[in-house]
Amino acid sequence: MAMSYIRVAWRHSSIDEPILLYGELDDDRWEVRKVEVFRDGRMGYAASNSTFAGTGLRLAPVPPLLVIAQEPEFDAQEISSDEFELVWIEAINR
């Protein structure tokens, strides 16, 4: 199974919502692992067998990046597996 990795910056003013979302997606674009980064530096994460700080996996596949990027509050891009792993390790070690 080939994975893809994304980073989505979310521009908003709420302190209760993440400003960065990182996702590891399977071939069908279902989240396998996810990290959320909040304005104050908090990080939440989720995988099929664990969740932390209220972060959970989506209940539907992630839309294509072009669809996400059509929303003006989102800046979405594909990233490398190495970049995702660095963020994942930071989140689970906090």
The DSSP-derived string for 42-94 is -EEEEETTEEETT----SSPPPPHHHHHTSTTEEEEEE-HHHHHHHHHHHHH-
* Residue 17 DSSP code: S
Q: Give the integer Cα–Cα distance in Å for 86 and 79.
A: 12
Model confidence at 15, pLDDT cuts 50, 70, 90, reads: confident
Count of structural domains within the chain: 1
Host domain of residue 27: 4-93
The answer on pLDDT for 11 being more than 80 is yes
The model's pLDDT over 29-73, given as tens digits with 9 standing for 90+, comes to 999 999 999 999 999 999 989 888 889 999 999 999 999 999 999
